[in-house]
Chain A
């Protein structure tokens, strides 16, 4: 079965710290995504990647960076954590099917609830 694993369910960090959120998928998917989810705002795309070492900014990339050194792993980095980055972070992956214009459903991890104090 499809599996997207996020390294931590809950994380507490301090302002100014460098924070790493890790995501691993076992489905050999080309596409990987990072979202943050806040009450009333739904899912907002931070970054996505369609191949190893490739990355594209989403809607709210400020204050974040990403790394994809291996196909199965996509890391989200908060360079200097701030309190307004307290949120639920969701990782997702999807396969690339050129004949269907890439519209395969996304598979999500269980999320990391990050608190910045």
Chain B
């Protein structure tokens, strides 16, 4: 069965600092990977996705993520965080063939200090 681990429940950064949110997955074949962001009181919005090809994926709002098969990781990065990036971030993995239901991590809450 597939699973997703987001090791950090909360992350605090200063505005302007760089950010890396960790995501580790467990899946036998090549996974389909997603990062979503949830602003307070809102639903989830897709930031970026990885299906195949280039392992460095660019997303919206200046985010990027790198797929590392050897480490079973898909970490989300941003070079300079803005106060508006404060939100909950979810990593998800989808399977190939048979099931189109993604498995979500429990989320990482990003706090941005001025």
Report the stretch among A38-46, A60-68, A73-81 that lies at the interface. A38-46
Contact flag A43-B43 (CB < 8 Å), given A101-B97, A103-B94, A105-B49? no
Chain B interface mostly helix, strand, loop or mixed?
A: loop
Q: What are the residues of chain B within 8 A of A15 when measuring CB–CB?
A: none
Measured in the bound complex, the distance between the Cα atoms of B96 and A104 in whole Å is 11
Measured in the bound complex, the distance between the Cα atoms of B46 and A111 in whole Å is 15
Q: What are the residues of chain A within 8 A of B49 when measuring CB–CB?
A: 105
How many chain A residues touch B (Cβ–Cβ < 8 Å)? 28
Minimal beta-carbon separation of B59 from chain A (angstroms): 11
Give a binary string over A99-116; 1 marks a CB under 8 Å from any B CB, 0 the rest: 011111111111100000
**Across the two chains, which residue of chain A brings its CB closest to B109?**
A39
Give a binary string over B34-55; 1 marks a CB under 8 Å from any A CB, 0 the rest: 1010000111111001010000
Q: A101-B95, A102-B100, A110-B41 given. 4 additional CB < 8 A pairs?
A: A33-B101, A45-B101, A103-B94, A108-B45
Measured CB to CB, the residues of A under 8 A from B are 4, 9, 31, 33, 40-43, 45, 48, 50, 58, 90, 92, 94, 96, 100-111
